[in-house]
Amino acid sequence: TVLVAVKLGILALLIAAAFYGFVSHGASYPVHHLPVSFKQFMTSVGITFFAYAGFGVITNAAADVKNPKLTIARAIYWTLTIVILLYISLAFVVLANMPMAQLLKNANTAVALVAEQILGKAGYVLIYGAAIIAFMTGISATFFSIFRISQALAQDGVLPRFYERPFLGKGSWGNLLTIGVTAWATAAFDFSAIVNFSSAAFLVSYLAVFGANWLLREKTKAYPPLV
């Protein structure tokens, strides 16, 4: 919670400073025209879907909160709203302060470069700090979800028993295998390929969940037209 608060605080500081400078200088918002290929468009869709796929992790905390039916639903809708506003605000900040040619050349570090332009060297350092924190919290949340699911599947006999066999406290040998495979895939494959493959896996999984929800709609009390 502390790490996420620090990360959001840094981004909020950058956004507030950028909007203040934009309004105080009476600047006009630049219009960018950039032709993109179908492949580039689909890659961006995959990355965007991957960025939002993590919201499924929230449901894995249902056993640890009071009144999960209300709390989990609120958590999903509130965080979706906050993140959408955050993404749109950051896009505005970057596009309003960086020429398109420079953005294309520095796509992976654009936010940090804009932060340096607005807040000086401290802004550059703060954004890199926020990126490191985002990486740490994202990995932690994802592993929390994966370990919970794999342990439950092992208990139901779907996965091998070593996914629940203890290893170093509350960990399991299955957790160790998952971390090993993830580390190998990260080192062996290109980031875009990993994102697209993961997005496809998420999509298939969610379609299966929708299908199961439809079959069990009387038990889950799901709203059929929405499913």
Euclidean distance between CA atoms 151 and 27, whole angstroms: 54
The burial of 8, by beta-carbon neighbours within 10 Å (0-12 exposed, 13-18 middle, 19 or more buried), is given as middle
Euclidean distance between CA atoms 118 and 10, whole angstroms: 13
Q: Which residue bears the tokens 């905390």?
A: 61
Residue-level pLDDT at 27: 63
Euclidean distance between CA atoms 47 and 72, whole angstroms: 25
CB contact at 8 A, 146 and 178: yes
Share above pLDDT 70 across residues of the chain, in percent, rounded to a whole number:
96
Helix (H) or strand (E) holding 200: helix 191-215
Q: Which residues of 180-203 are buried (b: 16+ CB within 10 A; e: fewer)?
A: eeeeeeeeeeeeeeebbeebeebe
CB contact at 8 A, 57 and 72: no
What digits encode the pLDDT tens for the residues 7-58? Answer: 889 999 999 998 888 777 766 666 667 778 888 888 777 777 777 777 777 8
Report the DSSP beta bridge partners of residue 172. 166
Euclidean distance between CA atoms 193 and 161, whole angstroms: 31
What digits encode the pLDDT tens for the residues 146-158? Answer: 888 888 889 888 9
Closest by CA to 48, choosing from 59, 60, 40, is 40
Q: How many residues does the chain have?
A: 227
The pair of structure tokens assigned to 62 is 């249902």
pLDDT per position in the chain (227 positions), as tens? 888 889 889 999 999 998 888 777 766 666 667 778 888 888 777 777 777 777 777 887 788 888 988 999 898 899 889 888 988 999 888 888 888 888 888 877 888 899 998 888 898 899 989 988 888 888 887 888 888 888 888 988 898 988 888 888 878 899 899 889 888 988 888 877 887 788 788 888 888 989 999 999 999 888 889 88
